[in-house]
């Protein structure tokens, strides 16, 4: 996520330059660059190829490395990916590659290359101030962290991708302003009619009383009352 944010900021910063260049045709660009020579990074290094940092009494506390005296000089890890730190600060973020063959400054176990001897002298005289200035510049322009490999300057900041979210605790609080601000709905299921079927019918019913009176019709005989009610045992 941090890398995506850096790339987004870089694209947003370059969008203005791309749109401005599209408004100029080649003739206008040539007119603006009339009398100026646009040099590549290789050509800049070739201009200062013969220069060397000269050790003076004022630089007694500085340690310099040169190709003819250092072992594995080409494999020395340069800070800012070889970009001149003095130019970064003085030119408001301009990234000009340094020339290591001029001399590499070793300061606090880190190595710095410069684009000119004057830049090397200025940086070496106030190395801590320039290093702090580059870090402050990276805070406002996050794309420099990725371009110049400044991750060690912000090692105390843990990227979101590496953070252990299980250890993070969040808390919420309901106030008068947030009370009943959200509508909640709950789905319920009504009870169903349930029934069970058996193989035989079971019922309970009392026998209906039945009485028969005999001798009411016909010849005169004595009337007889007969109880026809069924018993409970049947």
Task: List, for residues 193-219, the tens digit of each pLDDT value.
Answer: 877 776 776 667 778 888 888 777 766
> Structural domain boundaries of the chain?
2-11+41-52+59-156
Computed on alpha carbons and rounded to an integer, the radius of gyration of the chain in Å comes to: 49
- Per-residue pLDDT of 117-174, as tens digits, reads 889 999 998 999 999 999 999 888 888 888 888 877 776 555 544 455 556 666 666 6
Q: What angle do CA 9, 81, 139 make, to 5 degrees?
A: 35
CB 87 within 8 A of CB 94: yes
Q: How far is CA 110 from the centre of its chain?
A: 30
The predicted-structure confidence for 95-112, as pLDDT tens digits, reads as follows 888 888 888 999 988 999
Q: How far apart are CA 153 and CA 108, in angstroms?
A: 13
Task: Report the distance separating Cα 85 and Cα 106, nearest Å.
Answer: 13
Would you say residue 82 has pLDDT above 70?
yes
pLDDT of residue 161: 47
Q: Strands, DSSP E only, in 17-90?
A: 63-65
């Amino acid at each position: 996520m941090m890398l995506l944010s850096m790339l987004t900021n870089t694209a947003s910063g370059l969008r203005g330059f791309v749109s401005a260049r599209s408004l100029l045709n080649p003739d206008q660009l040539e007119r603006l660059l009339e009398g100026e020579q646009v040099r590549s990074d290789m050509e800049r290094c070739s201009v200062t190829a013969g220069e060397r940092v000269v050790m003076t009494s004022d630089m007694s506390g500085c340690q310099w490395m040169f190709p003819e005296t250092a072992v594995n000089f080409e494999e020395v890890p340069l800070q800012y990916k070889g970009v001149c730190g003095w130019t970064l600060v003085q030119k408001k973020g301009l990234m000009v590659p340094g020339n290591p063959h001029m001399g590499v400054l070793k300061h606090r176990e880190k190595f710095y290359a410069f684009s000119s001897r004057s830049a090397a002298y200025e940086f070496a005289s106030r190395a801590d101030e320039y290093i702090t200035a580059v870090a402050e510049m990276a805070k406002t322009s996050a794309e420099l962290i990725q371009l110049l490999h400044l991750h060690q300057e912000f090692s105390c900041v843990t990227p979101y991708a590496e953070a252990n979210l299980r250890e993070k605790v969040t808390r919420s609080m309901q106030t008068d302003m947030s009370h009943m601000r959200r509508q909640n709905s709950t789905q319920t299921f009504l009870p169903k009619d349930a029934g069970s079927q058996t193989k035989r019918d079971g019922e309970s019913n009392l026998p209906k009383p039945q009485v028969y009176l005999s001798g009411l019709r016909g010849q005169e005989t004595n009337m007889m009352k007969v109880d026809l009610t069924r018993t409970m045992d049947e």
